[in-house]
Amino acid sequence: MAMTMSGEIQLAAPRVVVWAKLNDPEVLKACIPGCEELEKTDDQGFRAIARMKVGPVSARFRGKVALSDLDPPKGYKISGEGEGGVAGFAKGSAKVDLLERDGGTLLSYHVDAQIGGKLAQLGQRLVNGTAKKLADEFFANFARAL
């Protein structure tokens, strides 16, 4: 099942600060819902473990994340894939842009993702609703971390 999602959030911090926090594994670990481990593997990659629940399906996902198209402090592309055992898999990418606006930073994102396994059997509406909820929770946590 394929899905897309876009959004933006106004953050009350300078663009260089937002950029630094978006690349800080400790900040990201604290902000990602269900994140148990997040470890930097090199300058442009992370290894992650996160526990997720989508409807009746709960799983522990192990995955890798890579950063590309880096344009500090304006944005990057983040790509990743995770395996959740019988629950299925998820893979995708997000384009993240940071614009100076109103004395702070406007963060905009566009996500393209694919899921398979039991997760894909749950239905587009439930999966999209959960993805939106997780994104909103991440950005609320991230805004507090700034």
Predicted confidence (pLDDT) at residue 43 exceeds the cutoff of 90:
no
Kindly give, in sequence order, each residue whose CB lies less than 8 Å from that of residue 123, ignoring residues fewer than 6 positions away: none
Phi, psi of 52 (to 5 degrees): -125, 150
pLDDT at 6: 94
Predicted confidence (pLDDT) at residue 123 exceeds the cutoff of 90:
no
pLDDT at 120: 87
First to last CA, the chain: 34
Q: What is the mean pLDDT of residues 83-102?
A: 94
CB 96 within 8 A of CB 75: yes
pTM of the model: 0.90
pLDDT at 29: 94
